[in-house]
Chain A
Amino acid sequence: MDLSPDDWLAALRAGELNLDREGLAERLAELSADQALGLLAWWLEQLLAGGLGYGLGQFADLVGRPQGVAAAVLLRQALGTAQGGSPDPALLALLLPLLGYQRDPEDFPGLQALALNPGALVLRRGALEGLARGLSCWPLGPLRQLLVQLSADLDPQLAATAMDLLARLPWAREGLSAVAARGVDPLLAPRLARRRAAAPPSDLLLLIHGRSGGVVPDELLQLAEELRQQRGCRVIVQPLTDPLAAEQALALEPAPLTLVPLFQLPGHHVRHDLPAIAAQWRLRRWPLRRLPFLGAWPRWQQELAEALGEAQAQGWRPELLHHPLGGPLAARYPQALSQRLGLPCRPWDVAAYSGERALLVPLAVAANRLSETLQRWERPPGVQVWPPLLQQLRFRRLLLEQLLLLA
Chain B
Amino acid sequence: MTSAPLSKIEQAKAERCGLALEPELESLARRGWEQLSEAELTIQLKWLGIFFRPVSPGRFMLRLRLPNGVINAEQLTVLAEALDRCGAEGSADLTTRQNLQLRGLLFEDMAPLLKLMRAVGLTSRQSGHDNPRNITGNPLAGIDPEEFIDTRPLVLAIQELLLGPDGPRNLPRKFNVAVGGAPDSFLLHNDLAFLPARLDGDLGFTVMVGGFFSAQRNELAIPLGIWLRPDQLAGFSLALLLHFEREGNRSARNRSRLMYLIEELGLDGYRDQLLASYGEAVVAHDGSHLVDRAPRSCLGVHGQAQPGLHWVGLHVPMGRLDGELMLALAQLARTYGKGELRLTEAQNLLITDVPTGLLPTLLAEPLLQRFRPDPGPLQAEAVSCTGSRYCSFALIPTKTTAQAVIDELERRLELPNPLRSHWTGCSNACGQPYMGEIGLMGAKARHNGEMVEAAKIFLGGSLGVDPQLAQLHEKAVPLVELVGVLEQLLLDRFGARRRPQLVQ
Query: Do B395 and A254 touch (CB < 8 A)?
Result: no
Residues in A33-56 with C-beta less than 8 Å from chain B: 33
Contact indicator per residue, chain B 445-463, by CB within 8 Å of chain A (1) or not (0): 0000001000000000000
A25 to B451, CA, bound (A): 17
CB-CB < 8 A to A198: which residues of B? 81
Complex partner residue of A253 from B26, B55, B81, B107, CB under 8 angstroms = B26
A253 to B444, CA, bound (A): 51
CB-CB < 8 A to B112: which residues of A? 200
Query: Residue on B with the closest CB to A254?
Result: B27
CB proximity of A44 to chain B, nearest CB, Å: 15
- The answer to whether the Cβ of A231 comes within 8 Å of any Cβ in the partner chain is no
A129 to B57, CA, bound (A): 11
CB-CB < 8 A to A20: which residues of B? 444, 451
CB proximity of A184 to chain B, nearest CB, Å: 14
CB proximity of A200 to chain B, nearest CB, Å: 8
CB-CB < 8 A to B85: which residues of A? 164, 167-168, 195
CB proximity of B390 to chain A, nearest CB, Å: 9
Contact indicator per residue, chain A 127-139, by CB within 8 Å of chain B (1) or not (0): 0010011111100
In the complex with contacts A22-B444, A168-B85, A198-B81, A62-B395 CB distance below 8 A: no
- The answer to whether the Cβ of B484 comes within 8 Å of any Cβ in the partner chain is no
A152 to B85, CA, bound (A): 17
Complex partner residue of A21 from B86, B88, B89, B395, CB under 8 angstroms = B395
Query: Do A137 and B109 touch (CB < 8 A)?
Result: no
A28 to B57, CA, bound (A): 14
- The answer to whether the Cβ of B492 comes within 8 Å of any Cβ in the partner chain is no
Query: Do B54 and A157 touch (CB < 8 A)?
Result: no
Query: Do A194 and B395 touch (CB < 8 A)?
Result: no
CB-CB < 8 A to A102: which residues of B? 34
CB proximity of A129 to chain B, nearest CB, Å: 8
In the complex with contacts A22-B444, A98-B57, A285-B31, A168-B106 CB distance below 8 A: yes
Query: Residue on B with the closest CB to A61?
Result: B55
CB-CB < 8 A to B392: which residues of A? 21, 25, 28, 61-62
Query: Do A135 and B106 touch (CB < 8 A)?
Result: yes
CB-CB < 8 A to B58: which residues of A? 97, 100-101, 132-134
Query: Residue on B with the closest CB to A103?
Result: B34
A194 to B81, CA, bound (A): 8
- The answer to whether the Cβ of B87 comes within 8 Å of any Cβ in the partner chain is yes
- The answer to whether the Cβ of A68 comes within 8 Å of any Cβ in the partner chain is yes
Contact indicator per residue, chain B 386-397, by CB within 8 Å of chain A (1) or not (0): 001000111100
In the complex with contacts A25-B393, A135-B108, A65-B57 CB distance below 8 A: yes
Complex partner residue of A285 from B27, B107, B393, CB under 8 angstroms = B27
- The answer to whether the Cβ of A89 comes within 8 Å of any Cβ in the partner chain is no
- The answer to whether the Cβ of B29 comes within 8 Å of any Cβ in the partner chain is yes
CB proximity of B40 to chain A, nearest CB, Å: 13
CB-CB < 8 A to B29: which residues of A? 136
Query: Do B444 and A285 touch (CB < 8 A)?
Result: no
Residues in A144-161 with C-beta less than 8 Å from chain B: 157, 160-161
- The answer to whether the Cβ of B217 comes within 8 Å of any Cβ in the partner chain is no
CB-CB < 8 A to A65: which residues of B? 54, 57
Give the interface size class of chain A.
Answer: 35 or more
CB-CB < 8 A to B444: which residues of A? 20, 22
Query: Residue on B with the closest CB to A33?
Result: B38
A157 to B88, CA, bound (A): 8
Query: Do A285 and B108 touch (CB < 8 A)?
Result: no
CB proximity of A335 to chain B, nearest CB, Å: 42
- The answer to whether the Cβ of A255 comes within 8 Å of any Cβ in the partner chain is yes
Query: Do A136 and B32 touch (CB < 8 A)?
Result: yes
Query: Residue on B with the closest CB to A161?
Result: B87
Query: Do B81 and A67 touch (CB < 8 A)?
Result: no
Residues in A71-98 with C-beta less than 8 Å from chain B: 97-98
CB proximity of A201 to chain B, nearest CB, Å: 13
- The answer to whether the Cβ of B400 comes within 8 Å of any Cβ in the partner chain is no
CB-CB < 8 A to A103: which residues of B? 32, 34
- The answer to whether the Cβ of B403 comes within 8 Å of any Cβ in the partner chain is no
CB-CB < 8 A to A362: which residues of B? none
A64 to B88, CA, bound (A): 21
CB-CB < 8 A to A217: which residues of B? none
- The answer to whether the Cβ of A309 comes within 8 Å of any Cβ in the partner chain is no
- The answer to whether the Cβ of A57 comes within 8 Å of any Cβ in the partner chain is no
- The answer to whether the Cβ of A347 comes within 8 Å of any Cβ in the partner chain is no
Contact indicator per residue, chain B 423-443, by CB within 8 Å of chain A (1) or not (0): 000100000000000000000
CB proximity of B121 to chain A, nearest CB, Å: 18
In the complex with contacts A20-B451, A103-B32, A160-B56 CB distance below 8 A: no
Query: Do B395 and A22 touch (CB < 8 A)?
Result: yes
- The answer to whether the Cβ of B84 comes within 8 Å of any Cβ in the partner chain is yes
CB-CB < 8 A to A101: which residues of B? 57-58
CB proximity of B122 to chain A, nearest CB, Å: 16
Contact indicator per residue, chain A 375-393, by CB within 8 Å of chain B (1) or not (0): 0000000000000000000
The 6 A-B residue pairs whose C-beta atoms are closest, nearest first, are A133-B58, A101-B58, A61-B55, A164-B85, A25-B392, A103-B34
A-B contact pairs, 28 of them (CB 8 A): A20-B444, A21-B392, A21-B394, A21-B395, A22-B444, A25-B392, A25-B393, A28-B54, A61-B57, A62-B54, A62-B392, A65-B54, A65-B57, A97-B58, A98-B57, A100-B58, A129-B89, A136-B31, A137-B34, A157-B87, A164-B86, A168-B85, A168-B106, A194-B81, A253-B23, A254-B26, A254-B27, A285-B27
Given A101-B57, A137-B32, 20 further pairs, Cβ under 8 A: A21-B392, A22-B395, A61-B55, A61-B57, A62-B392, A65-B57, A97-B56, A132-B106, A133-B57, A135-B106, A135-B108, A136-B31, A160-B87, A168-B108, A168-B109, A191-B84, A195-B85, A254-B26, A255-B26, A285-B31
Residue ranges of B at the interface with A (Cβ–Cβ < 8 Å): 23, 26-27, 29-32, 34, 38, 54-59, 81, 84-89, 106-109, 112, 388, 392-395, 426, 444, 451
Residue ranges of A at the interface with B (Cβ–Cβ < 8 Å): 20-22, 25, 28, 33, 61-62, 64-65, 67-68, 97-98, 100-103, 129, 132-137, 157, 160-161, 164, 167-168, 191, 194-195, 198, 200, 253-255, 285, 287
